[in-house]
Amino acid sequence: MSNTLGAFSAMDIAASGLSAERVRMNTIASNLANAKTTRTAEGGAFRRMDPIFRAEALDESATGNMSGISKVSVGRIVRDPRQGMLVHDPQHPDANAQGYVEYPNIDVVEEMVNMITASRAYEAGVSSIESIKGMASAAIKIGG
């Protein structure tokens, strides 16, 4: 959509938010699925992933007040640097020389909270699309 003031711009913006929240949901699902993974391709325990969102101008050519209106996109997905939990278990195949196994730095409760946030954010995006549709339908009824 080239025109910043286009009737469907708000829908495009909301759609970008929905896509971003879907990416967040994917990383949360991955974090939860790998909450106890001790072996990865890079070596070591799985590390928690977090998507970093960034604003993306809706229309590069827009000026003034309109230039701030932005879509959202996922800039990159970063690994959480926090240390994972060390559990003493010398029998474990992934135990280190001291007999400790490093588990992922994932707190399942924290992930559940993030999941609810992502789910609610998605619902909010859908609500805004519904509102935009309602406004357009109301406008069509003018003079009818």
Partner 1 sequence: MAISPVNPGSVPLLSPHIDGGVELGKVAPFDEQRDTEPSAFEKLFASTVASTNERLQTADAAAKDFASGKTDDIHGTMIAVTEADIQLRLLGTMKNKVVEAFYELWRMQI
Residues that bind partner 1 (CB under 8 A): 7-8, 11, 14-15, 18-19, 126, 129, 133, 136-137, 140, 143-144
Measured CA to CA, the distance from residue 30 to residue 20 in angstroms comes to 15
Measured CA to CA, the distance from residue 51 to residue 17 in angstroms comes to 13
Cα torsion angle, 77, 80, 81, 84, sign: negative
Smallest separation, CB 141 to partner 1 (Å): 8
Smallest separation, CB 60 to partner 1 (Å): 22
Nearer to partner 1, 29 or 136 (CB): 136
Nearer to partner 1, 63 or 137 (CB): 137
For tokens 């999941």, the residue is: 115
Smallest separation, CB 49 to partner 1 (Å): 20
Cβ atoms of residues 6 and 61 within 8 Å? no
What CA dihedral angle connects 107, 108, 114 and 119, to 10 degrees? 170
Nearer to partner 1, 15 or 95 (CB): 15
Alpha helices in 53-140 (DSSP H): 108-140
Smallest separation, CB 140 to partner 1 (Å): 5
Nearer to partner 1, 15 or 115 (CB): 15
